[in-house]
Amino acid sequence: MNHKMLLCAVVVLTAWTPLSSQSLFDSIRVARSGEVYFSTGEAALSAEAITTIDTLCSFFLRNRRAEGIRITAHTDSVGALDKNLALSQRRADSVRAVLLQRGIAPEKITISCFGESQPASANDTEDGRQRNRRATIDVLVRIPMTNLTGRVVDQETGKGVPATVVFTYKDLSDSTRTDTAGNYTARLPENIPVKVDAFAQGYFFESAMRNTFGSKEMVQRMAEDNKKEIRLQPARPGQKAVLKNFYFKGGMPTLLESSKPQLPKVLRFMQINPSIKIEIAGHINVPFSRNGDEAPLQPGDPSWELSEKRAQTVYDYLLEHGISPDRMTWKGYGNSQMVKPYARYESDMELNRRVEIRVLEK
């Protein structure tokens, strides 16, 4: 099989692939997807392309939650714009004709044609042009949804706080606003763990993990879960907050990949509190040995410098994303402010290895 024929046989299968601009709030997902490729200037389907379409049709007809099939068709950049747009329409029509022959109802099929405007690869090589002469077929399914409710409150008073609440599951995310009493409701997919982040002016941000339950036997559990509140700490001068789930590679100022999503939260905190000035404080774990005469490390020690560099990592990120240097400083404290000075367990050591943000006087 030559290279072009190999391309024609490609089937890309995915599970719960996001739609373009997909929101976590949307009940429609791409459950399976495939691509077929065409010869230059042609709209005829190869045998391999028809096999791909048959596979997707079979999946659609077997899936009780199937909602529709979406076709998006494209061309390379050879030829005039208007002719390429018309060619992409003919390619989409070719795919649609096969779907109709296989028993897919016409009202279940949607088509979008883009001509050469959305290339998958550069058009300066034949390989790139071949990859652009394509149609994508997405099988769309409807997933069950349920309501997730909760409340954002002031940590000190227990009163509701008007806040923005962000929901994240895998690569999907969306947000809503609470009412004036801090209550929120969001319609989300059933039976998933979802991360909930709350942001409010005048407060540090906070996160919580929640679960959405849809089955009848889980209704009571969801009712109990919904009683949980997200409690926000006021961000007044002198107050400080530890950046949670914020971990570095051992002995280095490099954030772990899993911790990088925390940085945009710090940025958002600074953006919604434009009058706040902060100190970013870095701390390390060098526990004492219980001799009674231990002294903290001193500035200039390599380990002390590590605490400075970790604080500077956060500072540099904020600076690169538009926060004025007049609003923030960074400082390393070495092991002089350990939460657990005699840590022996990893859980205690993690409390010592931290970055904090402290609100300065305005």
The CA-atom distances, in angstroms, between 296 and each of 19, 300, 333, 341 are 53, 12, 10, 10
Q: Which of 114, 142, 170 is the last residue of a domain?
A: 142
Span 278-303, pLDDT tens digits: 999 999 888 887 766 677 888 888 88
User: What phi and psi, each to the nearest 5 degrees, are found at residue 120?
Assistant: -85, -25
The CA-atom distances, in angstroms, between 194 and each of 115, 162, 173, 208, 210 are 38, 21, 10, 9, 5
Q: Are residues 224 and 203 in the same domain?
A: yes
Q: Are residues 134 and 149 in the same domain?
A: no
Q: Are residues 202 and 253 in the same domain?
A: no
User: What phi and psi, each to the nearest 5 degrees, are found at residue 68?
Assistant: 180, 175
Q: 119-156: string of b/e by CB count within 10 Å (b at 16+)?
A: beeeeeeeeebbbbbbbbbbbbbbbebbebebbbbbee
Query: Whole domain around residue 224: which residue ranges?
Result: 145-232
Q: Are residues 77 and 155 in the same domain?
A: no
The residue written with tokens 């801090």 in the block is 182
State the CATH number of the domain containing residue 196: 2.60.40.1120
- What's the number of domains the chain is made of? 3
State the CATH number of the domain containing residue 279: 3.30.1330.60
pLDDT tens track, the chain, 362 positions: 333 333 333 333 333 444 545 788 889 999 999 999 999 999 999 999 999 999 999 999 999 999 999 999 999 999 999 999 999 999 999 999 999 999 999 999 999 999 999 999 999 999 999 999 999 999 999 999 999 999 999 999 999 999 999 999 988 899 999 999 999 999 999 989 999 999 999 999 999 999 887 665 555 555 555 557 999 999 999 999 999 988 888 788 888 898 999 999 999 999 999 999 999 999 988 888 776 667 788 888 888 899 999 999 999 999 999 999 999 999 999 989 988 988 888 888 888 889 999 999 86
User: pLDDT at position 18, please?
Assistant: 45
Assign 132 to helix, strand or coil: helix
Model's pTM, two decimal places?
Answer: 0.77
Span 180-192, pLDDT tens digits: 999 999 999 998 9
Task: Give the Cα separation of 313 and 262 in Å (integer).
Answer: 12
Q: Are residues 23 and 137 in the same domain?
A: yes
DSSP tally for the chain: helices H, then strands E: 8, 15
Q: E strand or H helix at 72, and its extent?
A: strand 66-73
Q: Are residues 162 and 125 in the same domain?
A: no
User: pLDDT at position 200, please?
Assistant: 97
Q: Are residues 177 and 306 in the same domain?
A: no
- For residue 301, count other CB atoms closer than 10 A to its CB: 15
User: pLDDT at position 54, please?
Assistant: 97
**CB contact at 8 A, 139 and 69:** yes
Q: Which of 142, 157, 188 is the last residue of a domain?
A: 142
Q: Are residues 135 and 150 in the same domain?
A: no
Q: Are residues 51 and 137 in the same domain?
A: yes
Q: Which of 142, 162, 185 is the last residue of a domain?
A: 142
